[in-house]
């Protein structure tokens, strides 16, 4: 199979979200007056809570405005504090938008892919100015032919609307020659399944698939993706 149009998730696939999140949380919590000795316990509660909320969003259980509005008020409420969740959300987004850390070898990998003649697109759920800011702060932005962010598209992965709107905007886009590459089974792989697009589950940690999503391929590193693209 020759794949001409490659749709890449960003976080945990090309960009180092864990590092970006840690730095943004540090700046936010320090600004909010959390003592240095307490930073870890706040982060340890926030990170799984936030990921669970994004999973709820993927399953349609909450809305994105609700997620963004309430996650920090819920965090501080857990520690018996009342805060302005909207204000903290805005400050966190500001700090996060400045973080362009990439996963190791992401730049070299995309350079290789680009040199092979593939069209490269970012296909990401998230807040527009955050994702664009992080790409601007990274070194990988020039590799993308276009960027599709759920905020701008008006739909989010795994909905078919997200992929249909990409198809409407990209010349010569055909599902049978497109490939969705990402780490999220519920967003990226299920999205590919819903849209009839082949997918690569980027799974460097060797996680077990306990979802209904069925990836076309599963890889642990970028080299394995290059091998698939060479077939």
Q: Which long-range contacts (CB under 8 A, 24 or more apart) does 223-228 make?
A: 225/109, 225/113, 225/181, 225/200, 226/109, 226/112, 226/113, 228/200
Domains of the chain: 5-16+100-230 (3.40.50.1000), 17-96 (1.10.150.240)
Output the six-digit token pair for 44.
């340890």
Instruction: Give all strands of the β-sheet with 119-124 in edge-to-edge order.
Output: 146-149, 119-124, 5-8, 178-182, 198-202, 217-219
- pLDDT value of residue 159: 97
- pLDDT value of residue 64: 85
Q: Give the other-Cβ count within 10 Å of 48's Cβ.
A: 9
Query: If the chain, 231 residues long, is cut into consecutive pieces of 10 residues, what is the mean pLDDT of each piece?
Result: 95 98 97 97 96 88 91 97 95 97 99 98 95 98 98 96 98 96 98 99 98 98 98 85
Q: How far is the C-alpha of 96 from the C-alpha of 118, rounded, in Å?
A: 30
Model confidence, pTM: 0.90
Q: How far is the C-alpha of 105 from the C-alpha of 14, rounded, in Å?
A: 9
Q: Is the peptide bond before 216 cis (omega within 30 degrees of 0)?
A: no
Q: How far is the C-alpha of 147 from the C-alpha of 138, rounded, in Å?
A: 14
- Quick check: is 11 catalytic? yes
- Quick check: is 18 catalytic? no
- pLDDT value of residue 194: 98
Least Cα distance to 169 among 188, 196, 149, 192 occurs for 149
Catalytic residue (choose from 11, 16, 183, 198): 11
């Amino acid at each position: 199979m020759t794949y001409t149009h490659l749709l890449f998730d960003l976080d945990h696939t090309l960009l180092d979200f864990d590092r970006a999140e840690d730095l943004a949380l540090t700046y936010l919590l320090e600004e909010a007056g959390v003592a240095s000795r307490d930073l870890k316990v706040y982060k340890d509660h926030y990170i799984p809570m936030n990921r669970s909320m994004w999973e709820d969003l993927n399953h349609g259980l909450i809305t994105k405005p609700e997620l963004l509005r309430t996650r920090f008020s819920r965090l501080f409420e857990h520690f018996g504090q009342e805060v302005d969740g909207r204000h903290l959300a805005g400050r966190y987004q500001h700090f996060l938008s400045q973080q362009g850390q990439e996963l190791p070898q992401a730049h070299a990998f995309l350079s290789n892919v680009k040199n092979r003649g593939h069209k490269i697109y970012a296909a990401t759920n998230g807040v527009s100015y955050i994702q664009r800011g992080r790409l601007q702060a990274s070194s990988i932005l020039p590799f993308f032919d276009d960027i599709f962010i759920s905020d701008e598209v008006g739909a989010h992965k795994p909905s078919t609307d997200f992929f249909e709107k990409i198809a409407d905007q990209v010349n010569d886009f055909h599902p049978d020659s497109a490939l969705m590459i990402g780490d999220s089974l519920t967003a990226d792989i299920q999205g590919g399944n819903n849209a009839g697009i082949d997918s690569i589950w980027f799974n460097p940690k060797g996680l077990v698939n306990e979802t209904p999503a069925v990836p076309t391929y599963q890889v642990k590193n970028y080299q394995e993706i290059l091998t698939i693209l060479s077939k």
